[in-house]
Amino acid sequence: MSVLSGKKIVLGISGGIAAYKTAHLVRLFIKAGAQIQVIMTPASKDFITPLTLSTLSKNPVHSSFFNEDDDNAQWNNHVELGLWADLMLIAPATANTLSKMAIGNCDNLLIATYLSAKCPVYFAPAMDLDMYKHPSTIASFHALHQFGNTMIPAENGELASGLSGEGRMAEPENIIAFLEADLESKLPLKGKKILITAGPTYEAIDPVRFIGNHSSGKMGFDIAECAANHGAEVLLISGPSHLNVKNSNINLIRVVSAQDMYEVCHQYFNTMDVAICAAAVADYRPMQVADQKIKKTEDYFSIELEKTKDILASLGQIKKDQFLIGFALETQNEIENAKLKIQKKNLDLIVLNSLQDEGAGFGKSTNKVTFIDSNFSIETMELKSKETVAQDIINKIIQQYHA
């Protein structure tokens, strides 16, 4: 999954021949999963039509502060557009538009939105060779760099004038690649490796039956997606679950039993920076597993159980610099039992669930958790979607490395 997925992007188009490429650029943004709002300067409409871009972006195209042909037209609010965006891209950025950006000459909707934007701004210059090298253009580049804007360098190639050289707007595929690489490099968990366990485990009774629980794995899968979206390389070890992953930064390993999960966790733990044990691992398993399906012959039937290996405690015993997070699902004496787990299992943070809270627990789309750290600091959260709880957990990890 692209880092652009879900991003809200304002694409500003100024009046150069390279504007024809923006149709393909919009298509690539949509394919990557981004939301697009297009702002055109009046001159850019000579090179590509608003109808084309509105059709591809699935949104109305803005080019003026209001529609002069409509007496009841609403004002196109440049402030709202600037605040809506997660990032703004101006492509093509002509010498004229770059100059206006540099000095704040606000005579069209595009520049007004640029001046209102609170998000990262990227620009892809497009002009003839001599214009690209002119001192005034270089001064614009320098000013915009000082403002914190990022230039997507022009490429060498044939220009509209017939000359060949630097000044050609970067190809749409290269613009997308530049944005993805730049955004990924700035993600707060870039370079971190995170192990996450999720779902239930199934402990076999015979070839047909098993002991399990109602965990869907959703909490662990949501944490994995959130961690990957923040740049982490994620190893997700899941018990039986119907869920799948979307992000290519997640390596999903499916297991069945507690022993399977134990072995995979220990295989990879030493290479990890963080481990989050969100799986609902069975505490006990049958001592004997029948080779054949057990027939229903007796009125009463008993199964002798033995303890499974405690994955979380075993990781706590061997951890070095890893940040270790555990989950606790309690029904009574929740806080005290969670504190005991922190000490006993050598945890840095525990995420406490209570089945007493409405909307929390297995099979729900929501969860209500309490964070308790190794210093026994307690932070109780409101009932939230599991996706939002996942973000809260990842925020704790980000704080750990960026405090």
Question: Where along the chain do its domains lie?
Answer: 8-185, 193-402
Span 8-185: which CATH code?
3.40.50.1950
**What is the average pLDDT across 386-394?**
95
What lies within 8 Å, CB to CB, of 68 at 6+ separation is none
User: In DSSP terms, which residues pair with 378 in a beta bridge?
Assistant: 372
DSSP three-state, residue 166? strand
Q: Which pLDDT does position 76 carry in this prediction?
A: 59
**Looking at the predicted structure, is the pLDDT value of residue 75 above 60?**
no
**Looking at the predicted structure, is the pLDDT value of residue 360 above 90?**
no
Share of the chain residues as helix, strand and coil, in percent rounded to the nearest 5: 35, 25, 40
Percent of the chain with pLDDT over 70: 95
**Looking at the predicted structure, is the pLDDT value of residue 73 above 70?**
no
Stronger pLDDT, 402 or 371, i.e. the higher one: 371
Roughly how many angstroms between the first and final C-alpha of the chain, as a whole number?
A: 29
**Looking at the predicted structure, is the pLDDT value of residue 381 above 60?**
yes
**What is the average pLDDT across 212-230?**
94
Q: Which helix (H) or strand (E) holds 143?
A: helix 135-146
Q: What is the 3-state secondary structure (H, E, C) of 334-361?
A: HHHHHHHHHHHHCCCEEEEEECCCCCCC
- Under a CB-based contact definition with an 8 Å cutoff, are residues 89 and 57 in contact? no
Q: Which pLDDT does position 78 carry in this prediction?
A: 74
Per-residue pLDDT of 85-129, as tens digits, reads 999 999 999 999 999 999 999 999 999 999 999 999 999 999 998
Q: Which of 3-7, 161-165, 197-201, 314-318 has the lowest mean pLDDT?
A: 161-165
pTM of the model: 0.82
**What is the average pLDDT across 318-328?**
96
Question: Strands, DSSP E only, in 222-368?
Answer: 233-238, 250-254, 274-277, 284-286, 305-307, 323-330, 349-354, 366-367
Per-residue pLDDT of 122-152, as tens digits, reads 999 999 989 999 999 999 999 999 999 999 9
Supply the residues annotated as catalytic.
213
Highest mean pLDDT among 58-72, 88-102, 342-356: 88-102
Q: Which pLDDT does position 359 carry in this prediction?
A: 64
- CA–CA distances in Å: residue 291 to residues 253, 284, 288, 396: 26, 19, 9, 46
CA–CA dist 191, 5 (Å, integer): 20
Q: Which pLDDT does position 357 carry in this prediction?
A: 67
Span 193-402: which CATH code?
3.40.50.10300
- CA–CA distances in Å: residue 149 to residues 143, 192, 358: 9, 27, 47
Percent of the chain with pLDDT over 90: 81
Per-residue pLDDT of 11-30, as tens digits, reads 999 999 999 999 999 999 99
Fold agreement (8-185, 193-402): yes
Per-residue pLDDT of 262-309, as tens digits, reads 999 999 999 999 999 999 999 999 999 999 999 988 889 899 999 999
Average predicted confidence (pLDDT) for the chain: 92
Per-residue pLDDT of 206-217, as tens digits, reads 999 999 999 999
